[in-house]
Amino acid sequence: MIVDIARDLKIDNATTLSQASAGCQLRIRQLEGKACKRLREIGFCEEMEISKISDGRNMICSVCGTRMALSRKLADQVVVEMV
């Protein structure tokens, strides 16, 4: 029962990558949408920690020491939480 409550609290803290502030350390919680397969192929997987470097029309994120640019549309499909 406590595990279920903790899981519910984590979901409440979730937001999309496009909504997260630049400079934040984030953990990917869920990938949802048509581009999920492609996102996983380029290194965005559930439970992975990333940092959002910049915000704008295209967002720059650091994943495993590599910087990647994502469109806002693609970033809307990545559900994250603060680390």
Q: In the prediction, which pLDDT does 10 show?
A: 54
Q: Which of 81, 63, 68 is nearest to 17 (CA)?
A: 81
For the cut 70, the answer to whether the pLDDT of residue 11 exceeds it is no
Average pLDDT over residues 51-76: 92
Rama region for 38: left / alpha / beta (φ>0; ψ in -120 to 50; rest) = alpha
CATH number at 30 reads 2.30.30.90
Number of domains in the chain: 1
* Residue span of the structural domain in which 74 resides: 2-82
Q: In the prediction, which pLDDT does 48 show?
A: 94
Q: In the prediction, which pLDDT does 43 show?
A: 81
What percent of the chain stands above pLDDT 70?
86
pTM, two decimal places: 0.80
Average pLDDT over residues 67-81: 92
pLDDT tens, residue by residue, 48-61:
999 999 998 899 99
